[in-house]
Homo-oligomer: A and B are copies of this chain.
Amino acid sequence: MSEIRQDITTNEWVIIATERAKRPHDFTKPLKPLPPEFEPKCPFCPGNEAQTPPEVLGYREGGTSNSPGWWIRVIPNRFAALQPSQVECEGEVKREVANGLFRKMDGIGRHEVLIETPKHNLYFPYFTDKQAEEVVIALRERYLALRNEPNVKVVIIFKNHGDQAGTSLLHPHCQIVATPIVPQSLRRRTAVATRYYDDNGGCLYCDLIQAEQKAGVRVVEDGAKFFVMHPYASRSPFETWVLPKFHSASFGNLDLDAAKDLGRVLKRITGKIFTMLGNPDYNIVIHTAPVKEEDEDYFHWHLRIIPRLTMMAGFEIGSGIFINTALPEQTAPALREVKFQ
């Protein structure tokens, strides 16, 4: 008999196939061979800076803008999903609702790429601590810049690693999209958390961390500033959540010490995932409050790492209910025990 579990942060359901669940070590794979350190055709490799739009941020030892010498570089995405308005605009982006059934607005916003390292094949787990820290510091810097742009409602930070995660660009990079609308899924998460606050007088996620600490069985790492777990209603095997242990609605409120700590946590956790699952395709997404709600008491920003080990099929698309063939109570201890470094 399988179990149907409810994600308390969204009210979404997940079917956990407990009976035919795979063991954590069924997912084990040897590490895929790495690409070369330099790839002449890669627009993100040093020396090819002219192939990208001019940089908006460079952490560099020497050289000038848009030349080698950087160790982290942020550029507008050449294939931007959203772009800055061409006209100076003080008001809100206008929505066209003339025909009520066909609502649209201009794709105003920002879409940036953060190149995490000059080395084509240096994935997150292999960074020095300092490099890992500075990637998070640079993300924070861009968050704080973009949140102040006109019309920006939410800044969404994510990473696609590998074909199955939606990218064929191997060079390590993250993306940052600033949108002029609040995604419905964030509205729902905020509504669920607000309702919980009204019912219980506290933050849902803070209480969830406490409950998971007490349960103990889904904890990957319980650090000084961050709590890492496999959620009770995991939608896919090895889905990993990283939550700040202090209440905070927005990634933008992260102080520099915590940002550095997060960099080291990410290096360690992705390192364990690489070691166990063999450099799998994966996504990272940061869930954070809308920019005008950064200080509220209800939502609690967090980061999710989602190894893409399974495909989304018709049942998931049709119902939103995921079927997970791994038990978080088994995958979390397995990942916790992986030796990395």
A→B interface (CB under 8 Å)? 1-6, 8, 10-13, 15-18, 20, 79-83, 99-108, 154, 156-160, 163-167, 175, 177, 179-181, 183-186, 207-208, 211, 215, 232, 283-287, 304, 306, 310-321, 323
Contacts and interface: CB of A to CB of B under 8 A. Distances in A.
A184 B166 CA distance: 26
A313 B232 contact: no
Given A166-B316, A285-B317, A304-B317, 16 more contacts: A2-B82, A4-B107, A4-B181, A6-B103, A8-B101, A11-B184, A13-B184, A17-B81, A20-B79, A101-B211, A102-B211, A158-B318, A177-B319, A185-B319, A283-B314, A306-B317
A178 to B, nearest CB: 11
A202 to B, nearest CB: 12
Given A82-B15, A102-B211, A314 B166 contact: yes
B106 A313 contact: no
Given A102-B211, A211-B102, A215-B102, A83 B1 contact: yes
A156 B318 contact: yes
B156 A319 contact: yes
A103 to B, nearest CB: 4
A313 B80 CA distance: 15
B6 A165 contact: no
A285 B312 contact: no
Contacts of A156: 315, 318-319
Given A177-B315, A184-B11, A311-B163, A3 B284 contact: no
A236 to B, nearest CB: 10
14 contacts: A1-B106, A1-B107, A15-B81, A17-B81, A102-B211, A102-B215, A158-B317, A160-B314, A163-B311, A177-B319, A283-B313, A283-B318, A286-B318, A287-B318
